[in-house]
Amino acid sequence: MFESLDETMKHDEQTESSPKERAVRYVMMAVAAVVILGGLLMGIRVLN
């Protein structure tokens, strides 16, 4: 009868975006994480 907020959010996300859009989103998040971590590591190496 009552859905949890998490289930509702998952349902809304699935209806709003296609599988291709979700895949692109995950790839972009992975690229952003690599760039951010790479920048932090380079910054640390420059300071040492």
Q: Give the DSSP letter string of 5-47.
A: HHHHHHHHHHHHS-HHHHHHHHHHHHHHHHHHHHHHHHHHHHH
pLDDT band at 40 (very low <50, low <70, confident <90, very high): very high
Q: How many domains does the chain have?
A: 1
pLDDT digits (tens, 9 = 90+) for 1-27: 466 877 877 777 667 778 898 899 999
Boundaries of domain holding 39 = 5-47
pLDDT of residue 14: 65
pLDDT of residue 2: 61
* pLDDT exceeds cutoff 90 at 32: yes
